C-alpha cells in the first residue's frame, strides 16, 4: 500500500517528494468547470491540489448536511485523482478564506454564549457532529487506502487567533478518531508567537505568507526541527473589498523571485491558483477600524482569472516550476465568452408588496437577530407602526449589523452603515415632513391655529394642546431593512457576528415595541408575484428575460444601479454595489439554459435603469 511520510523531507513511497501545489476552492467554481481548472493546474507542473472544505455549506442547518453540487467533495477528489494530482485537504472548522464567517455555520450563534475555536463544549460537540459525518467520506480517499489524499490540516492560522492547546489536541484527536491516518499539518503566520500558539505535538507546522521567503522559512525552522519547510499559502495576490478604490494586484517580479527561493528551500502551495467567485451571500468581511466586506469576485490576482483564463503570472510561474517538475505544452481548451447585449426590464415588484409571498412573519414585542429565527444569510425586515410617538425626531438602532435602510410609509428616511449604526440620529423636521403625510397635515394645522414657526412645530409636534381635538399618535408604518453584508472571517469579532437588530429600536429616547419580523434569505424568489404593486424608490425586484442559442461565460453589467443582489435562473450570483471596484458579475455558461433565461435583480436603494447588459469581458476595477 502506498504511503506518505514526513521525515527530513516529504516522502512518497520512500522517495523524496517536493510538494508543488495550487489552491483551488471547488466551492467557488461551478462543478462543470472543475476538470478544466485542474487540467490547467496539472499543465502548470503542479503535482498536488489543495482545498478547504466550508463547514457552513456542508452543514447549513444543525441537522442538515449537503454533499451535492458545489458541495460534492467526493466528486472533486475523484476528478483530481483522475487527472493525476495528489490532494491536500483542509477541513478545519475554521477556514478564513475571505469566506462568510470563515466557513463556520451561522447557526452556532443561536447560542448567545457561544465561544468559537476554544474548548467550549457546545462548540466542540458541534465540531464532532460535523466531523463524524464528513471525515469518513474523506478517509477512504487517503493514500493509505489507495487514494490520493496525502496531507490534512488540523486547524487554520490558529496562532493568529488564540493559544488553547487543549482545543488543538482535541481537534487532532477527533480527526484520528474518525479515520484520518495521513500526516497532519497546521499553518500559521510566520511569526514566533503564531507558531508557539498554533503548533501541536505530532503535527507539522507550515507557514502562510507572500514575501520574504528566506526570512519566513528561517523562523519556521525553529518549529519544524529537522522536518521539511512548506509555505501552505503562498499569497500571489490579494482580495478586494467594496470601496477599496481599485482591484488589488500583486507584484509579479517579486513573487516570481519568492517562488524560486521557496522551491529551492522547500515546498509550496500557491494561494490562489484560481480564486473563483463568492456566489450568493458567501463573501466574508474584515473589521479593523471599520467594516470592509469583500466583493463578489474572488479573482485574487491568481494564476487563472475568475473565469479560468490563463494569465501572464501563470506563464511566468510555469517556467520556474518546470525546473523541478514536468510541465505540459499541450494546448488547453479555452472557455468561450459571450455577450448577449442590452436587455430591457419586463416586470417589477416592490419588496413591500411581495413580503408575504417570500417570507413568513414572526410577531414579537421586541426585535431579535436573524440567527434566533434560524436565518443565516441575506436581509431581514422589521415592521411596526408609531403608536405612542408623534413622529420620529430621534432614532437609534441598538446592536444592529451591518446596514439598515429605514422607511416611513414606504418612503426612504435614512440609510445607516457600520459606525453610523452605533449612534442616535436626529431627523430634521423638514426631512420628516417630506416622508410623512400625517406629520405634514398636523404641522400645517398647528401653524394655522397657533401661528407657530416650523421650529416651534419641530419642538412641539404632536402636543394635543396645540390644536383643537385630541391626538393619539400618527399610526404611521415604518420599516427597517437590515442587510447582512458578510460575517467577519478573522479575529475576535467573529463571536459578535449576529445580524439584524439584536437589542432594540429607540425612538425619541424610548424603546419602541410591537414588531412584525420578516426573514429574507432570498432563497425562494420563484415565489415572487410580479403582478403586485411596484413602488418607485423602494427596495424592489426587477425581471429580465433573454434567449440563448449558444452558451458562453458572460458578465452582468449594472451601470446605473445602486446596491443589491442578482439571480440567474434562480441561482444567486452575488452582490453588486455601485461603489466598486467590481462593476460586473460573472455568469458561468453552465448556469444558462438553451432558450429563454431569466435574470432577477433585487435592488435596495431605488437606483435603477430600464436596462442591464450582458458583456463578454469582466470589469473588476
As given in the structure block, the three cell numbers for residue 576 are 453588486
pLDDT at 441: 79
Average pLDDT over residues 211-231: 97
**Comma-separated ranges of CATH 2.60.120.260 domains in the chain:** 341-348+529-615, 366-513
Question: The cell 478518531 sits on which residue?
Answer: 177
Of 149, 95, 105, nearest in space to 129 by CA: 105
Phi, psi (deg, nearest 5) at residue 495: -75, -5
Low-confidence winner among 198-212, 420-434, 493-507 (lowest mean pLDDT): 420-434
Residue 47 scores a pLDDT above 70: yes
pLDDT at 466: 54
The proportion of the chain whose per-residue pLDDT surpasses 90, expressed as a percent, equals 89
The tens digit of pLDDT for each residue in 596-610 reads 999 999 999 999 999
Query: In 555-584, which positions are buried (b, 16+ CB within 10 angstroms) versus exposed (e)?
Result: bbbbeebebbbbbbeeebbbbbbeebbbbb
C-alpha–C-alpha distance, residues 437 and 564, integer Å: 29
pLDDT at 461: 63
pLDDT at 288: 95
Catalytic residue among 98, 100, 155, 233: 233
Residue 22 scores a pLDDT above 60: yes
C-alpha–C-alpha distance, residues 29 and 275, integer Å: 9
The tens digit of pLDDT for each residue in 322-338 reads 999 999 888 787 899 99
Average pLDDT over residues 112-129: 98
pLDDT at 449: 75
As given in the structure block, the three cell numbers for residue 543 are 425581471
pLDDT at 376: 98
Average pLDDT over residues 179-199: 97
CATH code, 19-321: 3.20.20.80
The tens digit of pLDDT for each residue in 532-548 reads 999 999 999 999 999 99
pLDDT at 440: 81
The tens digit of pLDDT for each residue in 125-146 reads 999 999 999 999 999 999 999 9
DSSP 81: H
pLDDT at 433: 82
With beta carbons less than 8 A apart as the criterion, state whether 398 and 543 touch. Answer: no
pLDDT at 451: 74
With beta carbons less than 8 A apart as the criterion, state whether 66 and 21 touch. Answer: no
C-alpha–C-alpha distance, residues 277 and 5, integer Å: 34
pLDDT at 465: 57
C-alpha–C-alpha distance, residues 359 and 533, integer Å: 17
Beta strand extents in 320-466 (DSSP E only): 341-350, 362-364, 379-385, 394-401, 403-408, 411-417, 425-426
The radius of gyration of the chain from alpha carbons, rounded to an integer in Å, stands at 27
Phi, psi (deg, nearest 5) at residue 304: -110, 150
Give the CATH class of 341-348+529-615. mainly beta
According to the per-residue pLDDT averaged within each range, which of 257-266, 385-394, 452-461 is highest? 257-266
pLDDT at 467: 54
As given in the structure block, the three cell numbers for residue 417 are 452603515
Question: The cell 470601496 sits on which residue?
Answer: 243
Residue 389 scores a pLDDT above 90: no
Residue 472 scores a pLDDT above 90: no
Give the CATH class of 366-513. mainly beta
Residue 204 scores a pLDDT above 80: yes
Residue 248 scores a pLDDT above 60: yes
426 has catalytic annotation: no
| CB atoms closer than 10 angstroms to residue 10 | 22
The pLDDT-based confidence of 460 (bands split at 50, 70, 90) is: low
Residue 470 scores a pLDDT above 70: no
**Comma-separated ranges of CATH 3.20.20.80 domains in the chain:** 19-321
C-alpha–C-alpha distance, residues 561 and 604, integer Å: 10
With beta carbons less than 8 A apart as the criterion, state whether 1 and 146 touch. Answer: yes
Phi, psi (deg, nearest 5) at residue 35: -65, -40
pLDDT at 438: 80
Helix (H, G, I), strand (E, B) or coil at 40: helix
Average pLDDT over residues 516-526: 98
pLDDT at 370: 98
Catalytic residue among 157, 389, 483, 603: 157
Phi, psi (deg, nearest 5) at residue 37: -70, -40
The tens digit of pLDDT for each residue in 556-565 reads 999 999 999 9
536 has catalytic annotation: no
Helix (H, G, I), strand (E, B) or coil at 582: coil
pLDDT at 548: 98
Query: Whole-number mean pLDDT of the chain?
Result: 95
Amino acid at each position: 500500500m502506498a504511503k506518505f511520510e514526513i521525515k527530513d523531507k516529504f516522502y512518497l513511497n520512500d522517495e523524496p517528494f517536493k510538494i508543488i501545489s495550487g489552491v483551488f476552492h471547488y466551492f467557488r467554481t461551478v462543478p462543470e468547470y472543475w476538470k478544466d481548472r485542474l487540467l490547467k493546474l496539472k499543465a502548470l507542473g503542479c503535482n498536488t491540489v489543495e482545498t478547504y472544505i466550508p463547514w457552513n455549506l456542508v452543514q447549513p442547518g444543525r441537522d442538515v448536511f449537503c454533499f451535492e453540487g458545489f458541495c460534492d467533495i467526493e466528486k472533486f477528489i475523484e476528478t483530481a485523482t483522475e487527472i493525476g494530482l495528489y490532494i491536500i485537504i483542509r477541513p478545519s472548522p475554521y477556514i478564513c478564506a475571505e469566506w462568510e464567517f470563515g466557513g463556520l455555520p451561522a447557526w452556532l450563534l443561536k447560542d448567545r454564549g457561544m465561544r468559537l475555536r476554544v474548548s467550549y463544549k457546545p462548540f466542540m460537540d458541534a465540531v464532532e457532529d460535523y466531523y463524524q459525518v464528513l471525515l469518513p467520506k474523506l478517509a477512504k480517499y487517503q493514500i493509505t487506502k489507495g487514494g490520493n489524499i496525502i496531507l490534512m490540516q488540523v486547524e487554520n492560522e490558529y496562532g493568529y487567533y488564540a493559544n488553547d492547546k487543549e482545543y488543538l489536541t482535541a481537534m487532532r484527536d477527533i480527526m484520528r478518531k474518525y479515520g484520518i491516518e495521513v500526516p497532519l499539518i497546521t499553518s500559521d503566520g510566520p511569526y514566533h508567537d503564531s507558531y508557539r500558539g498554533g503548533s501541536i505535538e505530532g503535527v507539522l507546522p507550515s507557514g502562510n505568507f507572500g514575501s520574504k521567503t528566506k526570512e519566513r522559512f528561517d523562523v519556521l525552522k525553529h518549529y519544524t526541527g529537522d522536518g521539511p519547510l512548506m509555505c501552505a499559502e503562498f499569497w500571489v495576490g490579494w482580495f478586494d473589498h467594496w470601496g477599496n478604490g481599485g482591484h488589488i494586484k500583486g507584484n509579479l517580479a517579486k513573487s516570481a523571485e519568492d517562488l524560486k527561493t521557496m522551491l529551492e528551500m522547500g515546498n509550496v502551495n500557491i494561494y490562489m491558483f484560481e480564486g473563483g467567485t463568492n456566489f450568493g451571500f458567501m463573501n466574508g468581511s474584515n473589521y479593523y477600524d471599520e467594516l470592509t466586506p469583500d466583493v463578489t469576485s474572488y479573482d485574487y490576482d491568481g494564476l487563472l482569472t475568475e473565469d479560468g483564463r490563463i494569465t501572464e503570472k501563470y506563464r511566468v510561474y510555469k517556467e520556474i516550476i518546470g525546473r523541478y517538475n514536468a510541465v505540459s505544452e499541450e494546448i488547453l481548451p479555452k472557455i468561450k465568452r459571450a455577450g448577449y447585449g442590452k436587455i430591457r426590464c419586463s416586470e417589477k415588484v416592490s419588496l413591500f408588496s411581495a413580503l408575504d409571498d417570500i417570507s413568513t412573519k414572526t410577531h414579537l414585542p421586541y426585535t431579535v437577530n436573524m440567527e434566533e429565527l434560524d436565518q443565516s444569510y441575506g436581509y431581514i425586515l422589521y415592521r411596526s407602526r408609531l403608536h405612542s410617538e408623534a413622529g420620529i425626531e430621534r432614532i437609534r438602532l441598538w446592536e444592529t449589523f451591518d446596514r439598515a435602510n429605514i422607511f416611513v410609509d414606504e418612503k426612504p428616511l435614512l440609510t445607516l452603515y457600520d459606525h453610523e449604526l452605533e449612534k442616535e440620529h436626529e431627523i430634521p423636521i423638514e426631512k420628516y415632513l417630506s416622508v410623512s403625510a400625517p406629520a405634514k397635515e398636523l404641522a400645517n394645522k398647528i401653524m394655522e391655529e397657533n401661528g407657530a414657526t416650523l421650529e416651534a412645530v419641530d419642538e412641539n409636534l404632536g402636543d394635543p394642546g396645540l390644536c383643537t381635538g385630541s391626538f393619539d399618535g400618527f399610526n404611521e408604518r415604518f420599516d427597517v431593512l437590515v442587510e447582512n453584508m458578510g460575517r467577519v472571517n478573522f479575529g475576535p469579532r467573529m463571536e459578535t457576528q449576529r445580524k439584524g437588530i439584536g437589542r432594540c429600536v429607540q425612538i425619541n429616547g424610548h424603546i419602541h415595541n410591537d414588531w412584525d419580523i420578516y426573514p429574507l434569505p432570498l432563497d425562494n424568489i420563484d415565489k415572487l408575484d410580479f403582478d403586485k404593486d411596484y413602488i418607485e424608490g423602494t427596495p424592489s425586484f426587477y425581471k429580465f428575460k433573454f434567449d440563448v442559442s449558444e452558451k458562453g461565460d458572460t458578465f452582468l453589467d449594472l451601470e446605473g444601479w445602486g446596491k443589491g443582489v442578482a439571480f440567474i435562473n434562480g441561482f444567486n450570483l452575488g452582490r453588486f454595489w455601485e461603489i466598486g471596484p467590481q462593476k460586473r458579475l460573472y455568469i458561468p455558461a453552465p448556469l444558462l439554459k438553451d432558450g429563454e433565461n431569466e435574470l432577477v435583480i433585487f435592488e435596495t436603494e431605488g437606483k435603477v435603469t430600464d436596462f442591464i447588459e450582458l458583456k463578454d469581458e469582466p470589469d473588476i476595477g
